[in-house]
Amino acid sequence: MLTTRRVLGASAGVTAAVLVLVTGWQAGAAEEPVPDQGLYQVRGADTAGERADVTRTGVDVLGVRDGAMEVVASPSQASALRAQGLSLSLEGDWAALLDQRGGGVSARAADFPAGDEGYHTYDEMVAALQAAASAHPDITAVSSIGSSYEGRDIPVIKISDNAATDEDEPEVLFTCNMHAREHLTTEMCLHIVDRFTSGYGSDAGVTGSVDAKEIWVVPSQNPDGAEFDIAGGEYAGWRKNRQPNDDGSVGTDQNRNFSYNWGCCDGSSTSPSAEDYRGPSAASAPEVRAVQDFVDSRVVGGAQQIKAHIDFHTFSELVLWPFGFTYDTVTEGMTQEEYDRFRSVGEEMAASNGYTPDQSSGLYITDGDINDWMWGQHKVLSYCFEMYPSGGGIDGFYPPDEDIVPQTTRNDGAVDTLLSNAT
Ligand code: 0X9
Ligand code: CA
Ligand code: CA
Ligand code: CA
Ligand code: ZN
């Protein structure tokens, strides 16, 4: 097996090298043809407003680190950014980088690329939930919040003492893998499931939380996209769901499709092929409807039962809180006291995992994101975590599976802090 992998890996490397020669963008080339999709480092977008201008050109923003943005841009988008006075450096051909990243076709169809099998495919994720449930039947209940566009169940596991009963305990929600390629987040949710099930009865903190709260975990909000991202045997770099659009393109950005202030503020695209396409109407994505319907269903006797929430993304190592649609801290739907609570819990979580805390619009403006909806609609203390790494281009979305354990356990303290603030 190792030999086979090495051979496949080597041939992928050769293919990439050939592409480099053909496209000729390596250092020292007399001419530097610009790739159809180039990975660029963008400098000069130092304020959130300037970064919002960058997102408006329609580029795919991968991450932001120390004011430098990493984006995937077409030649015309790159020119537009330079015309805005920004300095761009080409880091590589996105397609070639994706080719290089895959270790070759895995032995099993639809598994992760060779070497990354520690990540869970959709089927493995479902099996992991079922295994946790059968090993700990008293404190778990697995169900589905709905179906994806392609008809996959979107499973949710509830973890609590007397899990079969809806008890009067503060509820907490963890959601992951809304963006297809952010596979490390699926592992984050599965780690939470593992910690709060296998630690029950032996770890006092875990036991206390499971007894006192009702913990809901949705490991993949975008199963179609996640499966598509690995279906070709090498990573596709896919972000959106897999719902077709009228113009023949595919995918809605679920994190621009939620119903609170949807499309309000130039924080999403109306262009179906854009990576931040907001969809034709609020909650047009079935996966978004499933999440919203589930959270709506937790209003019992007129009171929302879910008190706190983290939606995990990658990458940039950030702890973000609402609102994303406005730079204002205090506005309609957010008092000073409420904002101060967001900031203080956010800073406490960031102190424990070493991420950088900020209001989400401090990164760039978005409208229709999940956290604005969770707070705006339901007054849930709702955070977006951008996990490891802090930067890194293509590898930012595809850290090797050896990183799963250190980077998920890194958030144990932050998760505990969120739980203790769910009151
Ligand atoms: O753009 C997003 O949806 C999130 N980043 S990601 O690279 N994972 O796609 C961040 C959303 C946070 N909200 C705001 N920045 N307003
Ligand atoms: Ca590995
Ligand atoms: Ca309970
Ligand atoms: Ca309850
Ligand atoms: Zn994301």
Convert the pLDDT of each residue in 145-174 to its tens digit.
999 999 999 999 999 999 999 999 999 999
Q: Do 85 and 75 form a contact (C-beta atoms < 8 A)?
A: no
- The closest ligand to the CA of 403 turns out to be 2
Please identify every residue whose CB atom is under 5 Å from ligand 4, which is an ion: 166, 214, 305
Q: Tell me, what's the pLDDT at 95?
A: 84
| Residues in CB range of 82: below 8 A, 6 or more apart | 88
Q: Tell me, what's the pLDDT at 421?
A: 98
pTM here is 0.84
Which one-letter amino acid corresponds to residue 251? G
Task: State the SS3 of 225-288.
Answer: HHHHHHHCCCCCCCCCCCCECCCCCECCCHHHCCCCCCCCCCCCECCCCCCCECCCCCCCCHHH
What ligand 1 atom has the least distance to the C-alpha of 386? 8
Domains and CATH numbers, the chain: 4-102 (3.30.70), 122-420 (3.40.630.10)
R_g of the chain computed on alpha carbons? 21
What ligand 1 atom has the least distance to the C-alpha of 323? 16
Residues 73 and 58: their CA atoms lie apart, in Å, by 8
The conformation of residue 118, written as its DSSP 8-state character, comes to T
Angle at 161 between CA 157 and CA 167, to 5 degrees: 85
Quick check: helix, strand or coil at residue 381? Answer: strand
Residue 221 CA to ligand 4 center (angstroms) comes to: 22
Which segments of the chain have a pLDDT < 70? Answer: 1-32, 101-109
Closest CA relative to residue 251, chosen from 271, 230, 266, 235: 271
| Residues in CB range of 29: below 8 A, 6 or more apart | none
Which one-letter amino acid corresponds to residue 127? A
Q: Tell me, what's the pLDDT at 203?
A: 98
Q: Tell me, what's the pLDDT at 103?
A: 52
Q: Tell me, what's the pLDDT at 65?
A: 76
What ligand 1 atom has the least distance to the C-alpha of 325? 16
Q: Tell me, what's the pLDDT at 18?
A: 27
Q: Tell me, what's the pLDDT at 31?
A: 58
Asked about 167 being catalytic, the answer comes back as no
Beta-strand (E) ranges in 33-119?
38-43, 60-65, 68-73, 87-93
Residue 118 CA to ligand 2 center (angstroms) comes to: 7
Q: Do 283 and 292 form a contact (C-beta atoms < 8 A)?
A: yes
Determine phi and psi for 253, rounding to 5 degrees: -80, 105
Q: Who lines ligand 1 at CB under 6 A?
A: 179, 182, 255, 313, 320, 324, 360-361, 363-364, 366, 369, 384, 386
To test the pocket of ligand 1, the residue of 182, 314, 360 to mutate (highest count of ligand atoms within 8 Å of its CB) is 360
